[in-house]
């Protein structure tokens, strides 16, 4: 839900560069390494199954509510739709963001570098809610304007971090690679992208986190997401609905974020 | 390359100008609406100006022509043309309002159509490109910004743009608008102020007891990960319960819906960037400088207040910048839980399908974020320079 926030190598400041470039493959393939995300996803699954049966608990929390459990849509459907929106928008944003950043760092596209990097940093100051609201006059209500707003907004951290990541590659290293006879394409795939990968991944993490939060607000413009119970609860003054939606969105965000936390090298 | 002295073409401008030309030629620039909800009749340049519109189309062609051999002089001329066009924009709109709105139709209004926004966007991109390729002194860009602001506020204040749909929405609720503007800024300022104090205290605690660092960082990033809508929702229930339970809390204005959960959530989100930046800033100060201060006989508190803190200030301001921008956007979401502010107009407008009301809320929010960003970036830059020269 925030421009320029955490995981940002330049503003976070905790010396991303001193960390090991990336985790080794053997680390990534152990069960233990993935225990935290697995735990979060298990919790999410259990909540989904248990939520419809917790009527008496929510009735105790909010005795005035006529119907303690949100039933307009199944929570599973809302979650699936929420994830679908974020996944679709994020894949478009990541693909086009990384390619755009690669293009403007090639010799033939370098003319556009100042423009694109300025645009990415100015755009990140735009609040996601405003971007979401401005997509409506153009595309109407529903899922489509939400996806477009998510793509537009999700692009920026990806572009910016890819530019930073590629920019941080030591020119001497690049020269050396070229001197060893690597083609420009090989330099990109075997040198620049692997070295920039942690920073790019941090950008993707920001992009996806903001996406999950913005998609939740998308339910105000007619997208079917886990924000629906919250909005319905606010309108009807039903605290139980608000809690159900809020808990599920919170656990969803923490589950996805824990996956990224495991993919990125730790900050120690 | 965008080298100022080469005579090679500026490919960025050459790519932008056809877009401007296409917007002028094919897209609707503005629309005439009979009332608030009816979409209205879109009009393109030909419908508005007839054959005279062709003259306007010469502008992007001229800029493109100048960019073909981009010497510094020709780029400066192109910049002048773009600036003139942007200055003329509000006056052109005023002329459109006079020509096409019947003064006897009280609800008729002028909407801005896709072509207008595309033109504005292309001109902004062109300005960014000029800024990158023409190394003009910093002050001149502030001057240009002031000039444009002046042109817009002049034409807005004169009432010539009152028939603009956006202005109609504003005129209908000008009191509420200024109230919301003040309230929004107040919410953001108090959240940033509170988190500055708390973040500073947390950063000092982390410096003193390094064991705390991991825990505090962990908790704060956990809060940041939770989507705002969910956090607002999670705070709503306990606060409503507390206010129900304790009279004095509700007497203080604490309730489930409203400013209390908004402020708590805003401070919660602000703490991570603030604490992290303060911590890093205080730790990044060169140990050599601290050593020499100690050698000069300064006491630890003097070293902290007169050496470490001033040197850390630019990075701390970066934290304030991130926090403020984030809080401006989040405060808009807080309108959903009844916290007021500019977000109220956004969500009201979405509810009534009145898009100009949405704009009335969204544009000031964006403007606020961009202005705060510019000011704090400039402040950090100035402080950094001051440190370097001393």
**Distances from the Cα of B285 to the Cα of B37, B291, B315, angstroms:** 58, 11, 11
CA distance B19 to chain A (A): 16
A26-35, B17-26, B208-217: range with lowest mean pLDDT: A26-35
Q: Is there a contact between A230 and B128 if contact means CB atoms under 8 Å apart?
A: no
Span B276-305, average pLDDT: 88
Question: Which among B237, B280, B359 has the least Cβ separation from residue A242?
Answer: B237
> Which of B141, B225, B323, B365 to probe the A interface (max A CBs under 10 A)?
B225
Of A6, A118, A220, the CB nearest to B273: A6
Strand B41-44 relative to strand B28-33: parallel, antiparallel, unpaired? antiparallel
Q: Residues near B303 by Cβ (< 8 Å), separated by ≥ 6?
A: B290, B293, B294
State which residue of chain A sits closest to B370, comparing Cα positions: A125
Yes or no: say if B89 and B120 are a contact pair by the CB < 8 Å rule.
yes
Residues of A in contact with B125 (CB under 8 A): 115, 119
Contact A1 B228 (CB under 8 A): yes
Residue B46 and residue B132 in contact, taking contact as beta carbons nearer than 8 Å:
no
User: Chain B closest CA to A24's CA: distance in Å?
Assistant: 24
| Alpha-carbon gap, residue A131 to B165, rounded angstroms | 20
Task: Please indicate, yes or no, if residue B246 is contained in any of the structural domains.
Answer: yes
Within 13 Å, how many C-alpha atoms sit on residue B151's CB side?
Answer: 17
User: Within a domain: residue B307?
Assistant: yes
Shortest CB distance from B358 goes to which of A14, A127, A133?
A: A133
The answer to whether B227 and A250 have CB atoms below 8 angstroms apart is: yes
pLDDT at B251 (0 to 100): 67
Helix axes B228-245, B259-283, angle to 10 degrees: 120
Are B181 and B109 contained in the same domain? no
Residue B229 is nearest to which of A130, A137, A213, comparing CB atoms?
A213
Q: What is the pLDDT of residue B42?
A: 84
Supply the pLDDT for residue A3: 40
| Backbone angle region of B340, left / alpha / beta, with phi > 0 → left and psi within -120 to 50 → alpha | left
Q: Which of B:9-38 have CB within 8 Å of A?
A: 10-12, 15
Cα Rg for chain A, rounded, in angstroms? 21
Contact at CB, B222 and A254, closer than 8 angstroms: yes
CB-based contact A130 B365, cutoff 8 Å = yes
Q: What element of type H or E holds A130?
A: helix A128-139
**Scanning the structure block, which residue is given the tokens 């940093």?**
A121
Distance, in Å, from the CA atom of B212 to the CA atom of B202, rounded to the nearest integer, reads 9
The structure tokens listed for A51 are 């939520």
Give the residue among B84, B82, B146, B189 at the shortest CA–CA distance from B374.
B146
Residues of chain A contacting B11 with CB distance shorter than 8 Å: 111-112
- Say yes or no: B150 and B283 in one domain: no
CA A197, CA A193: separation in Å to the nearest integer? 6
Q: Tell me which chain B residues have a C-beta less than 8 angstroms from the C-beta of A111.
A: 1-2, 10-12
Is residue A150 in some structural domain? yes
SS3 B42: strand
pLDDT tens per residue across span B123-151: 999 998 998 888 888 788 888 888 988 99
Q: Residues A141-177: pLDDT tens digits?
A: 888 899 988 998 889 999 999 999 999 999 899 899 9
Give the pLDDT score at B18: 92
Q: Are residues B330 and B212 in the same domain?
A: yes
Indicate the SS3 state at residue B8: coil
The reply to whether B23 and B148 lie within a common domain is yes
Domain count, chain A: 1
Kindly state whether residue A200 falls inside one of the protein's structural domains.
yes
Q: How far apart are CA B229 and CA B333, in angstroms?
A: 7
Classify residue A251: in a domain, yes or no.
yes
Of the candidates A136, A209, A212, the beta carbon closest to that of B355 is on A136
- What pLDDT is recorded for position B279? 92
Of the residues B172, B190, B214, which one is the last residue of a structural domain? B172
- Whether residue A18 is contained in a domain is answered as no
Inter-chain CB proximity B2 and A111 less than 8 Å: yes
Q: Taking CB atoms and an 8 Å cut-off, how many pairs form between chains A and B?
A: 186
Query: Is B6 contained in some domain?
Result: no
CA separation for the pair A244, A240 (Å, rounded): 6
B133 Cβ under 8 Å from any chain A Cβ? yes
- pLDDT beneath 70, residues of chain A: 1-28, 65, 265-268
- Torsion sign across C-alpha atoms B245, B251, B257, B259: negative
Nearest to A220 among B129, B222, B347 (CB): B347
Show which of B137, B172, B207 is a domain's final residue: B172
Using a CB-CB cut-off of 8 Å, the residues of chain A touching B277 are: 11, 13
Tell me how far the alpha carbon of residue B298 is from its chain's centroid.
43
CATH of residue B285's domain is 1.10.3720.10
Contacts of A68 in chain B (CB under 8 A): none
Predicted-complex ipTM score: 0.81
- A4 occurs within a structural domain: no
Residue range(s) defining the domain that contains residue B226: 174-389
DSSP SS3 for B44: strand
Question: Both B150 and B236 in a single domain?
Answer: no
B227 contact residues in A (CB cutoff 8 A): 1, 212-213, 216, 249-250, 253
| A239 found inside a domain | yes
- Both B146 and B247 in one domain: the answer is no
Q: Is B273 on the interface with A (CB under 8 A)?
A: yes
B262 touches chain A (CB under 8 A): no
A161, A9 contact by CB (below 8 A): yes
CA B87 to chain centre: 20
Q: How many domains does chain B have?
A: 2
Q: CB atoms < 10 A from the CB of B139, how many?
A: 8
User: Is residue B240 domain-shared with residue B149, that is, in the same domain?
Assistant: no
Residues B25 and B108 placed together within one structural domain of the fold? yes
Q: Residue A157 domain-assigned?
A: yes
A30-40 pLDDT, tens per residue? 777 788 888 99
Q: Which residues in chain B are contacts of A227 at CB distance < 8 A?
A: 229
B236 interfaces chain A, CB cutoff of 8 Å: yes
What is the residue-averaged pLDDT of chain B? 86
Listing DSSP states for B110-161 in one string gives EEE-HHHHHHHHHHHHHHHHHHHHS---HHHHHHHHHHHHHHHHHHHHTTTT
Is residue B215 one of the residues assigned to a domain? yes
Domain match, B82 and B162 both = yes
Chain A environment of B232 (Cβ under 8 Å): 246
Does B217 share its domain with B278? yes
pLDDT digits (tens, 9 = 90+) for B168-203: 889 888 899 999 999 999 999 999 999 999 999 999
Which parts of chain B fold into alpha helices (H)?
11-26, 45-49, 53-68, 72-100, 114-133, 138-157, 165-172, 174-208, 211-225, 228-245, 247-251, 259-283, 287-295, 300-302, 309-334, 343-352, 355-389
* pLDDT higher than threshold 50 for residue B1: no
Contact A246 B231 (CB under 8 A): yes
C-alpha distance from A97 to closest chain B C-alpha (Å): 18
B37: confidence class by pLDDT, cuts 50, 70, 90:
confident
More confident residue, B99 or B245: B99
More reliable by pLDDT, B388 or A175: A175
Q: Across the interface, do B326 and A5 touch by the CB < 8 Å criterion?
A: yes
pLDDT value at position A160?
Answer: 92
Identify the domain boundary among B155, B172, B189. B172
Question: Which CATH number is A152's domain given?
Answer: 1.10.3720.10
Residues of A in contact with B325 (CB under 8 A): 2-4, 125, 127
Q: Closest CB to A115: pick one of B128, B234, B362.
A: B128
Say yes or no: B306 and B361 in one domain: yes
With an 8 Å Cβ cutoff, is B337 touching chain A? Answer: yes
Question: Domain range spanning residue A225?
Answer: 37-43+71-263
Regarding whether B227 and B157 lie in a shared domain, the answer is no
pLDDT for the residue numbered B256: 65
Alpha-carbon span B336 to B351, nearest angstrom: 12
């Amino acid at each position: 839900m925030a421009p320029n926030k955490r995981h940002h190598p330049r503003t976070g400041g905790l010396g991303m560069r001193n960390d090991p470039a990336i985790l080794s493959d053997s680390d990534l393939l152990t069960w233990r390494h993935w225990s935290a995300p697995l735990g979060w996803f298990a919790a999410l699954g259990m909540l989904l199954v248990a939520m419809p049966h917790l009527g008496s608990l929510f009735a105790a929390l909010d005795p005035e509510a006529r119907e303690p459990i949100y039933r307009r849509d199944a929570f599973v459907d809302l979650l699936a739709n929420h994830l679908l929106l974020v996944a679709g928008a994020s894949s478009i944003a990541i693909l086009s963001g990384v390619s755009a950043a690669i293009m403007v760092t090639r010799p033939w596209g370098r003319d556009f570098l100042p423009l694109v990097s300025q645009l990415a940093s100015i755009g990140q100051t735009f609040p996601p809610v405003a971007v979401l609201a401005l997509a409506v006059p153009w595309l109407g209500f529903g899922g489509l304007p939400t996806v477009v707003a998510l793509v537009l907004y999700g692009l920026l951290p990806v572009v910016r971090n890819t530019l930073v990541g590629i920019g941080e590659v030591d020119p001497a290293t690049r020269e050396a690679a070229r001197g060893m006879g690597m083609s420009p394409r090989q330099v990109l795939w075997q040198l620049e992208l692997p070295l920039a990968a942690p920073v790019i991944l941090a950008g993707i993490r920001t992009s996806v986190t903001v996406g999950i939060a913005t998609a939740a607000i998308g339910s105000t413009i007619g997208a079917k997401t886990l924000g629906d119970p919250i909005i319905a609860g606010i309108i009807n003054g039903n605290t139980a609905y608000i809690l159900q939606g809020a808990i599920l969105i919170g656990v969803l965000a923490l589950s996805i974020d824990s996956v990224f936390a495991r993919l990125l090298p730790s900050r120690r | 390359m965008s080298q100022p002295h080469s005579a090679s073409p500026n490919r960025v401008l050459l790519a932008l100008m056809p877009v401007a030309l296409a917007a002028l030629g094919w897209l609707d620039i503005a629309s005439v609406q009979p009332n608030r909800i009816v979409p209205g009749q879109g009009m393109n340049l030909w419908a508005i100006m007839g054959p005279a519109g062709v003259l306007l189309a010469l502008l992007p062609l001229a800029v493109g022509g100048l960019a073909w051999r981009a010497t510094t002089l020709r780029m400066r001329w192109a910049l002048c043309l773009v600036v003139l066009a942007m200055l003329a924009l509000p006056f052109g709109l005023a002329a459109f309002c006079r020509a096409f709105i019947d003064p006897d139709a009280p609800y008729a209004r002028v909407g801005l159509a896709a072509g207008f926004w595309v033109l504005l966007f292309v001109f902004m991109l062109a300005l960014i490109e000029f800024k990158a390729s023409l190394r003009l002194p910093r002050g001149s860009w502030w001057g240009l910004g002031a000039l444009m602001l002046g042109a817009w506020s002049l034409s807005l204040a004169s009432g010539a743009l009152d028939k603009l749909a956006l202005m109609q929405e504003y005129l209908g609720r000008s009191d509420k608008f200024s109230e919301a503007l003040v309230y929004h800024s107040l919410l953001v300022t108090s959240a940033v102020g509170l988190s500055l104090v708390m973040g500073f205290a947390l950063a000092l605690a982390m410096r003193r007891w390094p064991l705390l660092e991991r825990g505090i960082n962990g908790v704060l990033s956990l809060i940041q990960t939770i989507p705002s809508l969910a956090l607002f929702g999670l705070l709503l229930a306990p606060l409503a319960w507390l206010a129900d339970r304790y009279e004095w809390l509700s007497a203080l204005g604490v309730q489930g819906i409203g400013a209390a959960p908004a402020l708590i959530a805003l401070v919660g989100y602000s703490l991570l960037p603030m604490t992290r930046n303060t911590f890093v800033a205080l730790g990044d100060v060169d140990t050599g400088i601290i050593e020499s201060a100690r050698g000069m006989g300064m006491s630890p508190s003097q070293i902290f207040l007169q050496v470490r803190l001033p040197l850390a200030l630019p990075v701390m301001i970066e934290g304030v910048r991130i926090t403020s921008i984030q809080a401006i956007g989040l405060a808009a979401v807080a309108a959903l839980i009844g916290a007021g502010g500019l977000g109220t107009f956004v969500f009201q407008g979405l509810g009534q399908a009145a898009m100009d009301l949405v704009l009335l809320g969204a544009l000031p929010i964006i403007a606020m974020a961009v202005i705060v960003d510019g000011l704090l970036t400039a402040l950090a830059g100035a402080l950094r320079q001051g440190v370097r020269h001393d």
